[in-house]
Amino acid sequence: MKAVAKLAPGPGLSFITAPIPKIGRRDVLIKVKAAAICGTDVHIYEWDDWSRKRITPPLIFGHEFCGDIVEVGEGVSSVKLGQFVSVETHITCGHCFYCRQGMGHVCETMKIIGVDRDGCFAEYVAVPETACWPWEIEVPAEIAAIQDPYGNAVHTALSADLVGADVLITGMGPIGLAAIPVAQLSGARRVFVTDVSEYRLALARKLGADYALNPKNEDPVTFIKDLTQGRGVDVLLEVSGNPGAIKQGFASLRKAGTASLLGIPSKPVEFDIANDIVFKSIVVKGINGRRIWDTWFKGQALLAKGVDLSKLITHKMPLEEIEKGLELMKAGECGKVILYP
């Protein structure tokens, strides 16, 4: 099969011909229908500090995808040959302290597809049957391929009570963008968003943001306070990882509000715990990945109810053009980039 791999430490990628993966007793083989590029793939491509520490080449990378099951191991019972599935990127062990209590999203020995084991920038991928999400509704392949970032958005947004709430989402990457329709359909009163990229702010308006603010042009804290009787928003969803956005997010949050943080700063961030959390009586939640499978059921239900992610998909190309897609991601001149192997 054809595949895209990191063959040795260092920047770049290689187009290779690889053997079709062999499956174990409880694995399935998936023929990839559509894959999507994630920020993590850009890190692996560029070979940043994180990749140097985490990735052991050779590795076929890529982890956002969907496809058809074309082979099943003899012990497989939960999915069938021919079934169309999306895949949960985080492979959990199923028996650690956390998994046994329904908290697989923080599994002690979690393995990530396309990071710790071969991924989806290929014609075929082998995964455990337990990582498959068989759809109960009709979903186009492009949408089924982006359930990882969409799930992150669902997990973040639904971690707070959104009904009637003024919500601020900082960072309009794919996850922040996907959180807009989720918040709107989940009962938010108004959705404010920030980003420093006009391209991303334009996408945010298309996805349904009520107020799309660029901190380079205006102070979002003043803007938000003016529209909330000086109080601030009820809920902050921090999805940028940018220290400035984190600071503005907390400053825009009302007393006793909820802050859900998914963005990952590249280094430790200085923070005024006393004034921004303690005296304001703020609830802070850390959001890691997706709850397995609660987030998926909620995400599916929201898609069925009308969450429209089609405008989030801005580019489609054959796998051979992946470098073009990675460059678009680096420049931030895209929503989701879909690849067809």
The footprint of ligand NAD (CB under 6 A) covers: 39, 149, 152, 170-176, 194-197, 200, 215, 239-242, 244-245, 262-264, 287-289, 332
Q: Which of 40, 92, 170, 258 is catalytic?
A: 40
Which of ligand NAD, Zn ion, none does residue 73 bind (CB under 5 to 8 Å by kind)? none
Report CA Rg, the chain: 20
Please state the length of the chain. 341
Residue 110 CB, shortest distance to ligand NAD, in Å, is 11
Q: How far is the CB of 171 from ligand NAD (least distance, A)?
A: 3
The three-state secondary structure class of 340 is: strand
End-to-end CA distance of the chain: 10
Q: Which does 99 bind (CB under 5 to 8 A by kind): Zn ion, ligand NAD, none?
A: Zn ion
Q: Could you confirm whether 315 is annotated as catalytic? A: no
State the residue number with the nearest CB to ligand NAD: 173
* Tokens of residue 186, six digits: 């989940």
Residue 20 or 96: which CB sits closer to Zn ion?
A: 96
Buried b (16+ CB within 10 A) or exposed e, 15-31: eeebebbebeeebbbbb
Q: Does 93 bind Zn ion (CB under 5 A)?
A: yes
Q: Is 43 annotated as catalytic? A: yes
Say if residues 34 and 145 touch (Cβ distance below 8 Å).
Answer: yes
Q: Which is nearer to ligand NAD, 3 or 239 (CB)?
A: 239
Q: Which range in 16-24, 95-103, 220-228, 310-318 contacts Zn ion by CB under 5 A?
A: 95-103
- Residue closer to Zn ion (CB basis): 90 or 298: 90
Burial (CB count within 10 angstroms: exposed 0-12, middle 13-18, buried 19+), residue 42: middle
- In angstroms, the CA 339 to CA 13 distance is 15
Which residues are annotated as catalytic? Answer: 40, 43
